[in-house]
Amino acid sequence: MEELVIRDADVVDGSGAPSYRADVVIDGGRIVSIVKEAADAGCQRPTARRELDAEGLVLSPGFIDMHAHSDLALLRDPDHSAKAAQGVTLEVLGQDGLSYAPVDDRTLAEVRRAITGWNGYGDDIDFDWRSVGEYLDRLDSGFEGRGIAVNAAYLIPQGTVRMLAVGWKDREATPQELDRMRQLVAEGMEQGAVGMSSGLTYTPGMYAKDAELTELCRVVASYGGYYCPHHRSYGAGALDAYAEMVALTREAGCSLHLAHATMNFGVNKGRAPELIELLDKALESGADITLDTYPYTPGCTTLVAMLPSWASEGGPQEILRRLADDETAERIRHHLEVIGSDGCHGVPMEWDTIEISGVTNPSLADHVGRRLDGWTTARRLLLDDHLAPTILQHVGHEENVRQIMRHPVHTGGSDGILRGTKPHPRAYGTFPHYLGRYVRELGVLSLEECVAHLTGRPAARLRLPDRGLVREGYRADLVLFDPRTVAAGSTFQEPRRLPTGIPYVLVDGRFVMEDGRRTDVLAGRAIRRSPVRRNATRE
């Protein structure tokens, strides 16, 4: 007898097709049969060792977070309700060009310091890996050898690769260094990565010119992966930055997935149609493009990311040295406030848009939740908290958010930073916020469309053959939610409140959420792409 039958569910299958009523039978971690009510009226209904009455609930594939920063959280926090309670069953890690593999001893220490604000320094983590494959093995092992809360895929971080081969200098790579970067990317793809990310407003990845990025994308393309850039500007020059990534990947023959594809700052108010026109023309000409967004207007990053790139050259210790020097600090201030720092997307800093969301130094806790009052405070926070403060940046536009999420190549991504006293509510609320706010309340998307954006479409981008749809033979990564009540509990005032209306979540056919509560199940594992070498990389 099969393990579980989910009875009388309203199935929204992730394809965008109309919903239907069915019994869904699960065994061995897979969907083994779907008995539709209309087609099978009068037939004997399936039975199993356990039956779950899903009357009034929607059954959909598990949500796929295409932009997650849980690289260490999955290892340190077996509960991980921030994502499990949202119905997320797969996260894509290694984002924005900076993560923890591949590394050596030197670069591991550097990257831990550089992204402390995203993931913490990791004093509670045993960094017993160096390669991409070893990191994926560690995810498989997970917390105390028992696995992780949800599944995880990995992007090779281009900034970390450049850190290994070139260091933190703002210069072109030598031919030998470029060869090493190609090799590191190839090894990561062979070990199971799904593609490569960049953070082109973060050092040292931003020092790479287009020719270098194109060569690395050729390697990614040869393994059937995709390129996921946080491109060079989301403010002044945003459209040029999008066009740059489209042209670069077309030249490389590589699939493109645009990370947190927003149009922010005053210069881009009302300009989403221009981005959509750019994408549509590229798609009509044969480009393979997808994108992800979060359904909120403020952004979230680290305070140090706002600095001009020249101030970050050389790595974290050099940044601190420059900040401590009054003359250099004044140059930094001038770039931020007058010229427009490339770290702040070419837009002169408006300090009242910056809200401190987290610090690591307890003596600075009073700053959390406050807007910055100027450079003097920002500089002191960076020095006293060793570059760790995280921020919310209130620079988005609701009309742009709504128009971009309607695009047929759109997917959902939280970009959720889980650290800090007052994190962005998107970390705990992105997926139920789509369903509650933008489907039920505003009607921006239909339920079937929205679920496809959050499940089937991202699974297709990841080229996962048995995930992202409710189909016989597919993995039983599933969510049951109440379309009448599903909503994000997290707010800007209380960002860690869990959502409502998502009583059941299954990973690999096992309940990680049951009756609205987190179980002790750790069914998540690393999702490795099978490397299929399509073309030889250019020498």
- pLDDT at res. 536: 42
Model confidence over 329-355: pLDDT tens digits? 999 999 999 999 999 999 999 999 999
The yes-or-no verdict on residue 469 having pLDDT over 60 is yes
Query: In the predicted model, is pLDDT for residue 534 greater than 60?
Result: no
Inter-residue contact 116 to 56 (CB < 8 Å)? no
Average pLDDT in the chain: 95
Omega prior to 204 cis, within 30 of 0: yes
What is the distance, to the nearest Å, from the Cα of residue 25 to the centroid of all Cα atoms in its chain? 31
Amino acid at 341: S
Instruction: Locate all alpha helices (DSSP H) within 198-290, ordered by sequence.
Output: 210-222, 238-252, 272-284
Backbone region of residue 262 per phi and psi (left: phi > 0; alpha: psi in -120 to 50; beta: other values): beta
Can you tell me the mean pLDDT for 351-366? 95
Instruction: Quote the pLDDT of residue 533.
Output: 60
Work out the average pLDDT over 150-165.
98
pLDDT tens by residue, 402-450:
999 999 999 999 999 998 889 999 999 999 999 999 999 999 999 999 9
Mean pLDDT of the region 511-525:
98
> What is the reported pLDDT for 538?
34
What pLDDT does residue 293 have?
A: 98
Mean pLDDT score, 198-202: 96
Token readout for 273 is 């149609």
Whether the link from the prior residue into 102 is cis, omega within 30° of 0, is yes
Question: Residue 159 is inside which H or E element, if any?
Answer: helix 158-165
pLDDT at position 539:
30
Q: What is the pLDDT of residue 496?
A: 97
Is the pLDDT at 64 greater than 60, yes or no? yes
Whole-number pLDDT of residue 420: 84
Is the pLDDT confidence value at 471 over 50? yes
* pLDDT (mean) for 384-390: 94
How far from 59 is each of 22, 36, 260, 272, 486, CA to CA, in Å? 9, 13, 27, 32, 13
351, 371 in Cβ contact below 8 A?
yes
| Bridging pattern class, strands 195-199 and 299-302 | unpaired
**What pLDDT band is residue 2 in, cutting at 50, 70 and 90?**
confident
Rounded Cα gap, residues 99 and 105, in angstroms? 14
- For residue 531, the model assigns a pLDDT of 60
Tokens of 192: 């199971």
Residue 42 binned pLDDT confidence (cut-offs 50, 70, 90): low
Q: How far apart are CA 348 and CA 469, in angstroms?
A: 45
For residue 105, the model assigns a pLDDT of: 96
Lowest pLDDT segment from 174-188, 332-346, 523-537: 523-537
Question: Do residues 271 and 235 make contact, with C-beta atoms less than 8 angstroms apart?
Answer: no
Q: How confident is the model over 366-386, as a mean pLDDT? A: 96
DSSP 335: I
pTM surpassing 0.85?
yes
The pLDDT of residue 37: 78
Nearest to 206 by CA among 66, 375, 400, 346: 346
Alpha carbon 282 to its chain centroid, in Å, reads 24
| Residue for token pair 């201030």 | 333
pLDDT higher at 530 or 380? 380
Q: Percent of the chain having pLDDT more than 90?
A: 94
